[in-house]
């Protein structure tokens, strides 16, 4: 037998190794806040080629009355009283324009929009025709400024305008003036100068 050797065979030696495992912390989860959905712009309905009314709060008859009242008031920026045929009452309405569009609102969320160009094109004849065929309330002209006639004077029912003054005769006729007018002349009043001899609504037809 060799010295140092066991009779039972070689001896097994177990070696233990310690391994250090490093734990890397996970980054915190990011919580993404959901953005609230953008509120949709209020919808408008077209009452005619020029006037729009806010859907759900504003009727077209009221919107048309707002346009008429705004024009008739001389485009006032102060609150104007506008009659609502649907509610059968008047509402204080405030209008503001930016040179391109006019927006009119009431305290109960009614809103009306129309272009400044439509306001500029509107005429007294159109306003009067609208007033005669629509429900504008008990007295639509109450509190509004009197409409201005041509040249700021009374035209006496003549178009082109003939202002009060000395007698007027048709140019080229037998009258002695001293004022003369070239015809034809539309006569819608009392014809104080007798220009419409055959009472057909036109004077100085020759």
pLDDT of 151 reads 45
How confident is the model at residue 139, as a pLDDT?
A: 67
* pLDDT confidence of residue 21: 58
Average pLDDT per run of 10 along the chain, which is 206 residues long?
Answer: 53 61 66 64 90 95 96 94 91 95 95 96 91 82 52 75 88 85 86 86 84
CA atoms within 13 A on the CB side of 133: 7
Task: Supply the pTM of this predicted model.
Answer: 0.52
Dihedrals phi, psi of 15, to nearest 5 degrees: -105, 120
CA distance 148 to 155: 10
Which residues touch 93 (CB under 8 Å, ≥6 apart)? Answer: 66, 69, 70, 79, 80, 81, 82, 104, 105, 106, 110, 112
């Amino acid at each position: 037998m060799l010295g140092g050797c066991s009779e039972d065979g070689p001896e097994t030696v177990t070696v233990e190794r310690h391994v250090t495992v490093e734990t890397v912390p996970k980054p915190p989860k990011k919580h993404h806040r959901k953005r609230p959905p953008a509120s949709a712009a209020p919808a408008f309905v077209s009452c005619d080629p020029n006037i729009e009314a806010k859907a759900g709060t504003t009727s077209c008859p009221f919107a048309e009355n707002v346009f008429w009242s705004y024009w008739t008031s001389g485009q006032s920026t102060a609150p104007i009283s506008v009659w609502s045929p649907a509610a059968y009452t008047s509402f204080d309405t405030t209008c503001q324009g930016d040179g391109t569009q006019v927006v009119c609102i009431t305290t109960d969320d009614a809103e009306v929009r129309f272009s400044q160009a439509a306001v500029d094109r509107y005429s007294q004849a159109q306003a009067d025709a609208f007033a005669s065929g629509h429900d504008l309330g008990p007295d639509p002209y109450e509190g509004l400024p009197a409409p201005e006639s041509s040249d700021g004077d009374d035209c006496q029912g003549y178009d082109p305008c003939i202002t009060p003054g000395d007698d007027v005769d048709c140019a080229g006729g037998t009258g002695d003036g001293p004022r003369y007018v070239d015809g034809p002349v539309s006569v819608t009043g009392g014809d104080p100068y007798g220009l419409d001899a055959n009472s057909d609504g036109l004077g100085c037809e020759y």
